[in-house]
Structures are given as C-alpha cells and as structure tokens.
Structure 1
Amino acid sequence: MRAIPTLVLLAVFAATDATAQSAKQLIGTWRLVEIKGGDGKMDPNRGARPSGLIYYDAHGNMAAQIMPDRPRAKYAAAQPTPEEAKAAITGYTAYFGTYTVDEKARTVTHHRKANLNPGGIDTVVRRYEFVTPDRIILRPVENQNQLTWERVKSQL
C-alpha cells in the first residue's frame, strides 16, 4: 500500500520537473527574427522587418517590446501633439509582467501587469511555444500568427 502514494508523489515531481525544464529553456533574452501573419501577409503597422526583444527570467518575470520597421519622426517640441504621439506608438508593442508554462498544453502564458496599450493592462495572453536551444516560436492561441525569436548570446 505504501508503494501507491510513493508512485503518485514521483509522478507529481516528474510532471513538475518537466514543466520546470520547459520554463528553464525560456530563460534569457530573445531577439525578434520575424512575424508571420496567419494569411502570410505582414502587418502594415509593423513594416517589413520589425525589431524586438522578449525576456524571461528564472523568477517568472517577463517583458516584451516590438518596434515597427518604419520611419519614426522626432517630436517638433518637448511634448508631442496628439498626431505625433499616435504615430509614435502605432505598431509598437510593449508590456511586462509574469509568465507561467504549461508543458502538457505546450503554452506559455503572459500575465501582463503593465502595457503601452491601456486595454492590455492586467490581461492574460496564451501562446503556443515551440522551443529549441536557440529559437522560440510563439503563436497566439486564438490565431495563426507566428513570432520567431532567436536567443541573444552576446551584447545587443
């Protein structure tokens, strides 16, 4: 009879360790390689080659930024006009928060605590994850878009 509780505990520890392994693979800084839309088209607000970074740490914290590949005019004065402010943030993604990994579902969930877009504050987004030592492919659960990231191995 003592063998059954021991087996259950071993199964729980093994599952926890597998999730921990997947989370460990994410730890680090990753540079955006490409964004593909589900329809194969690029987002015109992001341009042909947007740049970005995503960061995961060992404590469950994360941050992401994606900057569009298009000319960005400097503000004419210290404070931008509404039009200048809108142009500056269109196509720009920036948020931070915490993350959790579900190994069985092959997802990483971003628990966004702050966001450039006020509508994204305190929201949760899930991404299917496909991780290799040097690349991550993240795909939103709700669509076929795909973001490919490569591990940053040296200074930016």
Structure 2
Amino acid sequence: MIRERLLGAWKLVTFEAWTADGRQYSPMGRAGQGYIVYSPDGHVSVSLSRGDRQADDAGRPIHRLDDAGAAALARSYTAYAGPFEVDEERAVARHHFELSLDPTMIGTLQERHVRFPADDLLELSVKPGASGLDTSTVLWRRA
C-alpha cells in the first residue's frame, strides 16, 4: 500500500522542474534542502530551502529585516502543510493546502504522483497544468 510506505520523514535529494517550453531548472538550486513528513493521522508537512541562504551581515532574524531583505529570504524558502489522502489506484497523494508560505495555494488541492524507485527513495511529481505549476519531480530519501 502506498499510504503506509509514505509515512515518516523524507529528506530532499533533488528537485527538478520544467517550464511549458521545456526549460529545465532547479527551484531550490543545486544544493536545495528540505523535508517532507507524512503522519499516520493523515497530515503532510513540507519545507524546502535553497542550500545557499545567508543571514544578513548583522545576523538579524527575518522579522527584523526590511521588506527587501525579508523578500529575498522568502523567495529562497517554501513550506506548506495540511491533510493528505492517497488514491491507491492512480498512485497519487493528494495534499490539501491549509497553510502555505504562498497564500494563493491555501485552500487548494494538489496532486503528487507517487513512485518508489528504491526501498529508501520516494519520487513525487507534478504533471503539467496542475494549478499553474510547472512540471516537476522531487526525489526524497527516507530520513
């Protein structure tokens, strides 16, 4: 069963995406970091970050930065959480966005196509046209 195999914490390996015209890019850079956690009670939490994020020269926390400094940090990080369910027949995890760094995603339902290329690897992919997102594939290793 897919749902049982998803449960637990997974650490980011790679995150690749493709625009409608076929241009490939890495949304979190080549050194991206992140976790996805699927809980037994049916919740998912995702945090993704560029690996090259830096504090400002004074080492101030984000809430003490001006808008430009905070915006730069926000663009290098994304997170969301909410309930999830699995469509076993279609091999799809359905993420209900209740919280998100991007408020346009709150209240949406996002489908992630699920594949397990190895016992300790999880591949989640988004197909073209899904809520305006680019096609993407995220590879995770069990944490």
TM-score bucket (shorter structure): 0.7 to 0.9
Which has more helix, going by share of residues? 1
Tell me, which stretches of 5 or more residues in structure 1 are unaligned? 1-20
Q: How many residues align?
A: 131
Aligned 8 A contact 1:75 1:84 in 2: no
Q: Could you tell me the TM-score, scaled by structure 1's length?
A: 0.76
Structure 1 window deviating more from structure 2 (32-41 vs 52-61): it is 32-41
Runs (5+) with no aligned partner, structure 2: 129-133
TM-score, normalised to structure 2, is: 0.82
What is residue 41 of structure 1 aligned with on the other side? 24
Corresponding residue for residue 8 of structure 2: 28
Match of 1:50 in 2: 32
Higher CA-based Rg:
1
Q: Residues 58-109 of structure 1: CA distance to partner in whole angstroms, max 9, x if unpaired?
A: 1111100000122323375562101011001103110110111011111101
Provide the aligned C-alpha RMSD in A.
1.9
Deviation (angstroms), 1:41:
2.9
- Give the % identical residues: 25
* C-alpha separation in 1, matches of 2:12 and 2:78: 12
SS of residue matched to 1:34: strand
- Counterpart of 1:83, as a letter, is A
TM superposition outliers: structure 1 runs of 4+ over 4 Å: 75-78
Residues 62 and 114 of structure 1, relative CA distance in 2, 3 Å threshold: same
Within 5 Å, give how 1:59-138 maps onto structure 2: 59-74=41-56, 76=58, 79-131=64-116, 132-138=118-124
